[in-house]
Structure 1
Amino acid sequence: MTWIEWGVLAAGLAVGYGVVSMLMGERHARARRAPPDAAAAAPAPKAGDGERPD
């Protein structure tokens, strides 16, 4: 591989790592903003909300 190819590969890896880091940071930030029992406090879905009644 030439120096140019190595440079392109390194740049691609750096960009990919940055994107993954950014997405993981958003995920952690969203988890910190939500209350710990947000899923338990959410109201149960009602019939007509896209859920089939049993």
Structure 2
Amino acid sequence: MNEELCDEEKSYHEWVANNLSFVNQNKQSISIMKKLYMEGFAAGFDYRYKLRAEEELQK
């Protein structure tokens, strides 16, 4: 399974393993940050999609 992970994912898994007590103590905050990041990431894709669609309509 680890062979399928990219370097960033491997480094994240290693960081979590090395900082497990921190992660467990701050699980709710980390979960909230992850959700906010994912929403922002999705909003960026949505913006780019709308921008491309608008550019295509103007052609």
Unaligned runs of 5+ in 2: 1-21
- For residue 39 of structure 2, what is the aligned residue in structure 1? 15
- For residue 3 of structure 1, what is the aligned residue in structure 2? 27
Identity %: 6
Structure 1: 4+ residue segments shifted above 6 A: none
TM-score (norm 1): 0.59
Q: Match for 2:46: what amino acid? A: M
Aligned residues: 35
Where relative contact order (Cα < 8 A, 6+ residues apart) is larger, the structure is 2
* RMSD (Å), alpha carbons: 1.1
- For residue 32 of structure 1, what is the aligned residue in structure 2? 56
